[in-house]
């Protein structure tokens, strides 16, 4: 309990707190834009049912779980096939395996700030209670979560999850046909989806985690970044004064927002219509028309299919090649002979910019590729290793994959990393407007035809502004 060393490299002014108040009760005029909001009325009550933690909605049934490290876990997700009159498995288990957040300031005070938010802090342990009518809409249903505290007693997080149906004016499908003389055919179906949401506040950042299921069979994974930036004090009050690399952006007097990354690695144990699956890369290749006779065109593109046989075959760095990536079941085919499957619709690619031999990147080597595929192994759940705190990078997804195991027609796990390179700007200060990203798993030849062709639109509700409060609110 003694100070063994004290090192004061330099002194800087304490950054001013002017304009940094974000509590509504403490704010003073003038105020920003006044938002009127919108109502989502459900005259026939919510369209989903919850039995314990099993959720049934539209043509989906799945289980919502909670883990102190991963936060939300979606498992046993199956979708009803109207033609086959049965539920078909899509996702055995999915969750965020790790979140790697390295900061780009290499100085004595900052170089070690390379966080692993799941393994070092726990997304589930960092879950916060959701605020009704703000974090979640008025039609949301809430679930609590529990974890074991340091003393072994259960700790309750009230309203850790919310589940709600979303209709934001999106279109499920539509077509207007005007090619028939004296007739116009117009068919539109509004899109309603189901969202499971949790928010993890890890230190300064708040992460909004959404799992969105659609009647079409798609699962969308959304993440929103908000909260407050990690900042450091400096002597500068204007960019003209800066003559050195400050590793960030001047956001306010004496305040630098440091450059950093966010890499979220998802664990997706897909069981597409069964356990044995394969990973297929349908590469888009340009073909030159060289004979000059078969077509007046000079080029076109086609697909060249490649089934990954081992783990090394399945490593993908997005942006370096144009391809459709899919998990397929070669043991199940459509009536037309296509393999049933689900394809990955990736978000924007953001690759690590640290050197592969830099210590933080050795620990975070699971972000070196955007996509990995491994055979299922019950001990391989955490991309950064079982014990992440002070780890050395010798127990990561990257090291497991070096075994180059067989993955063709096996029970496989798809790992996908969505990344953000964050260059802070003044609009991010003092509280950052939500920066959103995500990706999608979308059926590809899984159904015989459009599974939502016969979807009935929701009942139209007239909203009368002169009605009393008791009759206008659901």
Q: What share of the chain is helix, strand, coil (3-state, %, to 5)?
A: 5, 45, 50
Between CA 49 and CA 194 the distance in angstroms is 11
**pLDDT at residue number 388:** 95
CB 313 within 8 A of CB 303: no
Comparing 17-31, 211-225, 311-325, which segment has the lowest mean pLDDT?
17-31
- β-pairing, 171-177 vs 154-166, is unpaired
Counting Cβ atoms within 10 Å, is residue 310 exposed (0-12), middle (13-18) or buried (19+)? middle
Q: Which residues pair with 102 in a beta bridge?
A: 114
269, two tokens:
């144990």
Residue in the structure block whose two tokens are 């005070």: 109
Between CA 231 and CA 252 the distance in angstroms is 10
**pLDDT at residue number 203:** 93
Using alpha carbons only, how large is the chain's radius of gyration in Å? 25
**pLDDT at residue number 291:** 85
Residues 6+ apart with CB under 8 A from 297: 289
CB 125 within 8 A of CB 373: no
pLDDT at 461 over 70: no
Between CA 425 and CA 82 the distance in angstroms is 49
Residue in the structure block whose two tokens are 């933080």: 360
Between CA 425 and CA 420 the distance in angstroms is 14
Average pLDDT (447-453) is 95
E runs forming strands in 139-204: 141-148, 154-166, 171-177, 185-190, 193-202
353, two tokens:
């910019």
**pLDDT at residue number 35:** 75
pLDDT at 473 over 70: no
**pLDDT at residue number 474:** 40
Percentage, residues of the chain above pLDDT 70:
96
What tens digit of pLDDT does each residue of 85-118 get?
Answer: 999 999 999 999 999 999 999 998 899 999 999 9
**pLDDT at residue number 471:** 41
Q: Full-prediction pTM beyond 0.85?
A: yes
Comparing 123-127, 210-214, 348-352, which segment has the lowest mean pLDDT?
348-352
Q: How confident is the model at residue 355 (pLDDT cuts 50, 70, 90)?
A: very high
Q: Would you give the DSSP letter of residue 132? A: B
Q: How confident is the model at residue 194 (pLDDT cuts 50, 70, 90)?
A: very high
Count CB neighbours of 107 within 10 A: 10
Of 454, 339, 336, 332, the residue nearest 82 (C-alpha): 454
Average pLDDT (342-353) is 93
In order of 50, 286, 347, 383, the CA distances from 452 in angstroms are 23, 33, 24, 36
Average pLDDT (123-146) is 95
CB 372 within 8 A of CB 267: no
Q: Give, in degrees to the nearest 5, the angle at Cα 325 between 319 and 327.
A: 155
Buried b (16+ CB within 10 A) or exposed e, 419-458: bbebebeeebbbebeeeebbbbbbbbbbbeeebbeebeeb
Q: How confident is the model at residue 53 (pLDDT cuts 50, 70, 90)?
A: very high
Residues 6+ apart with CB under 8 A from 52: none
What single string gives the DSSP state of each residue in 436-469?
EEEEEEEEESSSSS-TTTTPPPPPP----TTS-H
Q: How confident is the model at residue 36 (pLDDT cuts 50, 70, 90)?
A: confident
**pLDDT at residue number 15:** 84
pLDDT at 142 over 90: yes
CB 310 within 8 A of CB 278: no
Comparing 16-25, 252-261, 324-333, 387-396, which segment has the lowest mean pLDDT?
16-25
In order of 91, 264, 314, 331, 423, the CA distances from 78 in angstroms are 7, 25, 25, 18, 40
Mean residue pLDDT of the chain comes to 92
In order of 50, 240, 250, 469, the CA distances from 426 in angstroms are 43, 16, 8, 41
What tens digit of pLDDT does each residue of 270-305 get?
Answer: 999 999 999 999 999 999 998 878 888 999 999 999
Comparing 59-73, 187-201, 372-386, 448-462, which segment has the lowest mean pLDDT?
448-462
CB 192 within 8 A of CB 179: no
Q: Which residues pair with 164 in a beta bridge?
A: 195
- β-pairing, 71-81 vs 114-116, is unpaired
In order of 5, 6, 108, 191, 452, the CA distances from 2 in angstroms are 9, 11, 22, 63, 68
What structural domains and CATH numbers belong to the chain? 52-279+310-472 (2.70.98.20)
149, two tokens:
């505290």
**pLDDT at residue number 136:** 95
Q: How confident is the model at residue 7 (pLDDT cuts 50, 70, 90)?
A: confident
E runs forming strands in 203-259: 205-213, 219-227, 231-233, 248-252, 255-258
**pLDDT at residue number 30:** 84
Residues 6+ apart with CB under 8 A from 197: 130, 135, 136, 161, 162, 163, 164, 208, 209, 210, 211
Between CA 213 and CA 193 the distance in angstroms is 6
Collapsing DSSP to helix, strand or coil, 408 comes out as: coil
Q: How confident is the model at residue 470 (pLDDT cuts 50, 70, 90)?
A: very low
Q: Give me the active site residues, please.
A: 117, 205
């Amino acid at each position: 309990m003694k100070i063994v060393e004290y090192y004061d490299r330099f002194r800087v002014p304490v950054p001013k707190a002017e304009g940094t108040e974000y509590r509504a009760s403490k704010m003073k005029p003038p105020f920003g834009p006044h938002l009127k909001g919108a109502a989502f009325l459900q005259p026939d009550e919510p369209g989903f049912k919850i039995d314990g933690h099993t959720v049934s909605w539209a043509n989906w049934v799945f289980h919502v779980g909670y883990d102190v490290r991963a936060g939300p876990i979606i498992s046993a997700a199956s979708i009803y096939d109207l033609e086959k009159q049965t539920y078909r498995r899509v996702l055995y288990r999915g969750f965020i395996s790790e979140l790697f957040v390295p900061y780009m300031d290499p100085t004595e005070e900052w170089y070690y700030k390379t966080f692993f938010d799941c393994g070092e802090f726990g997304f589930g342990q960092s879950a916060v209670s959701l605020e009704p009518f703000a974090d979640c809409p008025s039609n949301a249903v809430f679930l609590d979560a529990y974890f074991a505290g340091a003393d072994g007693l259960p700790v309750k997080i009230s309203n850790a999850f919310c589940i709600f149906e979303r209709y934001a004016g999106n279109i499920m499908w539509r077509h207007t046909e005007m090619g028939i003389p004296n007739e116009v055919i117009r068919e539109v179906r509004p899109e309603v989806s189901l969202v499971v949401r949790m928010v993890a506040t890890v230190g300064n950042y708040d992460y909004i985690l959404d799992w969105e299921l659609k009647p079409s069979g798609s699962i969308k994974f959304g993440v929103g970044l908000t909260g407050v930036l990690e900042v450091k004090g400096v002597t500068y009050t204007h960019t003209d004064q800066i003559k050195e690399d400050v590793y960030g952006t001047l956001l306010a007097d004496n305040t630098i927002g440091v450059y950093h990354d966010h890499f979220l690695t998802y664990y997706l144990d897909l069981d597409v219509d069964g356990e044995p699956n394969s990973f297929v890369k349908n590469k888009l290749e340009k073909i030159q028309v060289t004979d000059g006779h078969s077509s007046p065109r000079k080029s076109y593109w086609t697909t060249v299919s490649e089934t990954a046989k081992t783990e090394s075959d399945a490593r993908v760095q997005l942006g370096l090649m144009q391809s459709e990536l899919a998990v397929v079941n070669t043991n199940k085919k459509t009536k037309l002979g296509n393999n049933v499957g689900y394809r990955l619709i990736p978000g924007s690619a953001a690759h690590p910019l640290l050197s592969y031999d830099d210590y933080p990147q050795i620990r975070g080597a699971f972000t070196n590729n955007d996509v990995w595929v491994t055979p299922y192994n019950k001990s391989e759940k955490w991309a950064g290793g079982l014990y992440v705190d002070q780890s050395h990078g010798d127990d990561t997804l990257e090291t497991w994959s070096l075994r180059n195991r067989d993955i063709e027609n096996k029970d496989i796990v798809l790992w996908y990393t969505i990344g953000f390179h964050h260059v802070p700007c003044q609009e991010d200060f003092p509280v950052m407007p939500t920066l959103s990203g995500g990706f999608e798993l979308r059926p590809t030849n899984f159904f015989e035809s459009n599974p939502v062709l016969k979807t009935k639109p929701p009942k139209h509700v007239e909203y009368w502004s002169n009605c009393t409060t008791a009759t206008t609110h659901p």
